[in-house]
Amino acid sequence: MRVHRLEVQAFGPFADRQKVDFDQLGEQGLFLLNGATGAGKTSVLDAICFALYGSVPGARQDGHRLRSDHAPIDLEPLVILEFSVADRQFLVERSPAWQRPAKRGKSTVTEQARTLLQEKVEGSWQPMTSRSQEAGGEISALLGMNREQFTKVVMLAQGEFAAFLRAQVKERKELLQKLFSTDRFQAVEEQLAATATSLASEVAEQDAALAAILQQAREQLRRFLPRSEEAHPAVATAESEERTEPAEPRLAQHEATEEADFVEILSLAEQAQVDSLTALQRAESEELSSQLELQKAEQLSLRHSALAAAETVKAAVQAQSMDRAAAQAAFELHHLAEGFGSEIERLRQASRDQLLAANTMERLRSELPAEFASSDSADWQAAARQLARESSVAEAMLPEQQLVDDQRTELQQTRGELLDQQQKVEQLGGRLSELLAQQNEVSSEAAAAEKAASQAELREQQLTNSAEKLKAFQQRERLAESFRDLDEQLQEAKAAQLEAKEQWLKLLQARLEHAAAELAAKLSPGEACPVCGALEHPRPASNGDEVRGSERLEEQAMAQQEERQQLVEILTERHAALRAELAASAAQAGESSLEVLTEQHQHNLAAQQAATAAAELSDQLKLTMLELVAEHGELSITLQESETRVHQLSAKASTLEASIAERSAKIAEQLGSDSTLQSKIRRLTEQERLLLEAATADGVLAQRSQEANTAQRLLDDKLAGTVFDSAEAVSAALLSAERLAELQQRLSHYQEEAIRAEQAWQSAEVQAALQERAEQITPPSEELLGQLGVAREEAAREVRTTALQSALASQLFATVTESASRYTILDEQLRPLRERSQMLTALAETARGLGHNDYKMPLSAYVLAARLEQVAAAATERLLTMSDGRYSLEYSDALAGRSRKSGLGLEVIDGWTDQRRDTSTLSGGESFMASLALALGLADVVQQESGGLQIETLFVDEGFGSLDEQALDQVMTSLENLRDSGRVVGLVSHVAEMKLRIPQQLQVIKGRAGSTLTTKVLDELE
C-alpha cells in the first residue's frame, strides 16, 4: 500500500485547501514532517486515517470536532486521498458531518457525512461506493487491516510502543488483541468449556440414572417382601445417607457394593417366586375340594327346584286359558279395523300437526315481549324491521367500544411501566450517592499516591545521569585504548608519508634535469617550439628513453606520496575527533571509580523503581476515578431519561383516562338499560327472531287447522254402515305395531308354555326329584348352601390372592433381572463417556490456563505469545543495527508471580554484558531505539498476518531528540534500509539535526488564519 496524494480542506488546523504530492516528496525514499508545536503535524496523519476509515485515532475521533475553526463557515470540510494497493489505484473522498449556514435565516443545518470511493480503471476513475460503512469495509479488505492495526503498522507511534515496553502483561495483551484477532481461539476455549460442562452434566445424569435403577430395584423388593424381611441390607434404601461427594467418584467407590446388592436382590426375588408358586398350588387344591362339595349340594337343590318349577308352570298354563281366548278375539278385531287405517292415520297426522302448530304459536306468544303478545302477524313483521334498524345502530358503536377496551389495556400497561420507571429513578438516585462516596475515597487515595509519585521525574533524571556516567566511564576506557592504537597508526603514516615525499622530490629533480630532452621528445617538424617558437629544430636534445622512464617514475612517486598524504589527513582528523570524544567522555564520567559509579547507579535504580510504582498506582487510581466519573455521568443521563419518561408516562395516562371517560359516556348513552353493546345487540336480535318466527307460526297454524277438518270429513263418510260407529271405535280396535307384536308373542308364548310345561314334567331331573320325594330325600337348606358357597368363595379368594402374589413375584424377578441388565449395559456405555468427559475437562482447563497448565497461559494468550515472539525476533534485527550490535529483544514466558498468568513478557539482552534485564531499565535513547525497532517489527508481523500486503508508506513519530550522534546515525541507517526496500518513510521530528540530514521536507506552518503545508528541499531551506 502506497500513499500518492493528499488534499485537505477545512480539516483540523487547515482552513484553505492544502495539497501534498507524496510521490514527489518521497522521491528519495525518506522525508521529514516538521513544524512548530500545535501546527498540525498529527493532523496530516489524522487526515490519511480519516480518509481510509472515516475516523481518526484515539480520543481525536469525535467527528464533530474535525472541521477547522479557521475555515469560512460555509466551506465544506473535505479530505481526498489517492493511494494504491498492489497494481490497483484508488481515490477516496470523505467529508465529516458539519453545521452549515441555512439558506434562510441565521440558523444552521446539519450536513450529513459524505463518502465516495473510486478506482482507476483503464485510465478513468470509476465509482465503487458512496456509502461510508461500505467504503470502510472495502478499504479494510483491500489493506487487510482495521483502523487500530493501520495506526500501529503505518503510523508508528514510538511513544505508544515505549509504553508497550514498560506495560504489564494485561496492557500488552489488550494491545496485541487489537492487532491480532484471537476471537476464534477464545471461541475454542469457550466451546471446550461448554462441551466439557455438557459432558459432565450428561455423565451426572447417567450416574443418577444408574443410582435410580438400583434404588428402583430396592424399592420394588421392599414393597413385595414382608415387613420382617425389609431390614435386609440389599433392601435398605440410601435415602437417609448424606451424599455430598460428586456422583462419579461416589459410584466408582461403591461399584462393587452395588453389584453385590443386585445379586442379593435377584436371589431374594427368585426365592419369593418359588414360595408364591408353592402357596398357589396348595390354595388351588383346597378350592377344588370345596367346589366339588358345593356342586353336589347344588345339584340336589336344583333337581327339587326344577320339580317345583314344573308344578308351577303346569298350574299357570291351566290358569291362562281364558286370557288366551280374549287375546285371540282382539287380534281378529284388529284385522277388521285395518281397512280404515289410511283415513285414521291421515286424521291423526293432521291433528298432530294442528296441535304442534298451536303449541308453537302459544310458546312464541309467551316468549314475546308483553307489548307484542296480543298483536297480529303484520304488527310483528313491522316491529321486527324496527328492531333490525336499532341493532344496526348498536353494531356501529362496537368499534368505539373496542377502542375503549384497547385504551384501558394501554392505560394499565402505562401505569405498570410508570411504576417501574419510578422505582428505577429511586434506584438510580441511590447508586449516584454511592458513586459520589466512592469518588471521595478514591480521590483521597490518589492524592496520597500522587504525592509519592511526584519524585518520579527527579528519580528518573538521577537514574539517567548515573547510567550515562557509567556508560561514559566504560566508553572512556574503550576510547583511550583506541586512541593509543590510532596514535601509533598516525605516527607510522606520517613517517611513511615523509619517506614517500623524499622519494618523489628526488625523482622530480631528476626529471627537471632532463627537461630539455623531454621537450625535444615532444617536438614535431613544422610545429613551433614551446620554448623559442622556432619552426625548425636543428639540434634537439637526445637521451629520450631515459627521459620517458624518469617521467613515469616521478608520476608514480607523486601518486604514492599523495595517497599517503591523504591517509595522514584522514588519520589526523580521526585522531582529533577521537581525542575530543575521549575528553568529552572523561569530563562526563568524572573522577569517580567504576565501583562508586556502579553503586550510585544501583541506588538511583531502586529509587526510580519505587517512584515508578507510586506513579503507576497514581495512574491506576486516576483511571478508577475516571471510570467512576464516567459511570456517574452515564447514570445521571439515565436518571434524567427515566425522569423524562416518568413525566411522559404520567401525561399519557392522563390523556388515556380522559379519552376513556369521553367515549364511555357516548357508549353509555347508547346502551340504555343494557349492560353492554353486545348484550343489547343480542337482545334486539333475539326479539327480532321471535317476532319473525311468531309471524311465520301464525300462518302455519291456519293451514294445519284446515287440513285437520278435511281429514275428519273423509273418515266420517267411510264409517257409515260398519260395526264401528265412530273413529274412536276404529282407533280403539286398531292395535299399535308394538301391541300387535306383543299380542302375537303372547299367543305364541301360551302355546310354548304348554309345550314346555309338559316337557319339564317329563324331564329326568323332575322324575328323579319325584323319586327322591317318594324316598323322603329332602334338598339342602339355603343356609347350608350359603355356608358351602362361602367356603368355596374363601378358597377361590385365596387362590386369586396367591395367584396375584405369584404373578407379582414373577414380575418382580423379571423386573429386577431386567434392571440388572440395564444397569450393566448402561454402566458399560457410560464408561467411555466418563473417560471422554474427564479428558475434555482437563483439556478445557488447560485451554483456559488452569489445571496442569504450568504457565497459566490460556490458548488465546498462547497465540498472542507466539505473535509477540515473532515481533521480538523481527524487532531484534533492527535493534541490533541501531545499537551497534549491543541490544536484542527476546520474548519471555516466565510466570508473572503470585499465580498470575504469563506468556507476554519481554526482556532486553545486553550483548556486551550477556545480561538479561527488563525493558523498563533502558535509558531514554535506548528506549526510543527499542520502541522504534518494536514498532517496525510489529508492522512486519501484522503485515504478514494480514496476507503479506506490502506497506510502501510509513510514518515514524517523535523521539529522535533522545539519541546521541552515533545512535542517531545507527537509527538513520536502519530507516534507510527501509527506504532501500522500496518504502517511503516519513519522519515526524522537531530535532534540528534531522532537518540537516533529510533534504526532502514537508513543513507545517501555523498562523492565525490556520496552518499551511509546504514541500521544500534542503537547498531551498539553506
Q: What is the 3-class SS of 614-639, one letter each residue?
A: HHHHHHHHHHHHHHHHHHHHHHHHHH
Q: Does domain 160-180+855-948 have CATH number 3.90.650.10?
A: no
Domain boundaries, the chain: 1-144+955-1014, 160-180+855-948, 378-523+551-640
Query: Is there a contact between 699 and 429 (Cβ–Cβ < 8 Å)?
Result: no
Question: CA 112, CA 63: separation in Å to the nearest integer?
Answer: 11
C-alpha cell at 157: 507511534
Query: Is there a contact between 11 and 68 (Cβ–Cβ < 8 Å)?
Result: yes
- Per-residue confidence (pLDDT) for residue 1022, from 0 to 100: 44
- Residue 112 dihedral angles phi and psi, to the nearest 5°: -70, 160
Question: CA 680, CA 671: separation in Å to the nearest integer?
Answer: 7
CATH architecture of the domain formed by 1-144+955-1014: 3-Layer(aba) Sandwich (3.40)
Cβ neighbours of 37 (radius 10 Å): 7
Q: What angle do CA 270, 271, 274 make, to 5 degrees?
A: 90
CA distances from 499 to 493, 509, 557 (A): 10, 16, 10
- Residue 477 dihedral angles phi and psi, to the nearest 5°: -65, -45
- Per-residue confidence (pLDDT) for residue 243, from 0 to 100: 41
- Per-residue confidence (pLDDT) for residue 465, from 0 to 100: 75
- Per-residue confidence (pLDDT) for residue 274, from 0 to 100: 83
Sequence-distant (6+) residues with CB within 8 A of 216 are: 819
Q: Which long-range contacts (CB under 8 A, 24 or more apart) does 174-181 make?
A: 176/864, 176/867, 176/868, 176/904, 177/860, 177/864, 178/148, 178/149, 178/152, 179/148, 179/149, 179/152, 179/867, 179/938, 179/942, 180/863, 180/864, 180/867, 180/942, 180/945
CA distances from 271 to 221, 222, 380 (A): 12, 14, 89
What SS3 class is residue 538?
coil
Eight-class DSSP state of 535: S
- Report the predicted TM-score, pTM, of the whole model to 2 decimal places: 0.41
Eight-class DSSP state of 762: T
Q: What angle do CA 766, 754, 736 make, to 5 degrees?
A: 140
- Per-residue confidence (pLDDT) for residue 227, from 0 to 100: 46
- Per-residue confidence (pLDDT) for residue 246, from 0 to 100: 42
What SS3 class is residue 131?
coil
H or E, element range at 914: none
- Per-residue confidence (pLDDT) for residue 320, from 0 to 100: 66
Question: CA 76, CA 460: separation in Å to the nearest integer?
Answer: 47
C-alpha cell at 401: 367500544
Q: Which amino acid is at 870?
A: Q
- Per-residue confidence (pLDDT) for residue 63, from 0 to 100: 43
Cβ neighbours of 606 (radius 10 Å): 12
Question: CA 599, CA 196: separation in Å to the nearest integer?
Answer: 56
C-alpha cell at 128: 465503487
- Per-residue confidence (pLDDT) for residue 52, from 0 to 100: 92
For the chain, percent helix, then strand, then coil, each to nearest 5?
70, 10, 20
Question: CA 483, CA 995: separation in Å to the nearest integer?
Answer: 32
Please list the ranges in the chain whose pLDDT falls under 50.
Answer: 63-64, 227-228, 230-231, 237-254, 1020-1022
Question: CA 924, CA 21: separation in Å to the nearest integer?
Answer: 34
Domains 1-144+955-1014 and 378-523+551-640 share a fold: no
What SS3 class is residue 576?
helix
Instruction: From 234, 247, 245, 220, select the one nearest 830 (Cα to Cα).
Output: 247
Instruction: From 908, 909, 931, 924, select the one nearest 963 (Cα to Cα).
Output: 924
Query: Is there a contact between 941 and 168 (Cβ–Cβ < 8 Å)?
Result: no
Q: Specify the fold of 378-523+551-640.
A: Helix Hairpins (1.10.287)
Q: Which amino acid is at 881?
A: T
- Residue 237 dihedral angles phi and psi, to the nearest 5°: -85, 165
C-alpha cell at 491: 605516527
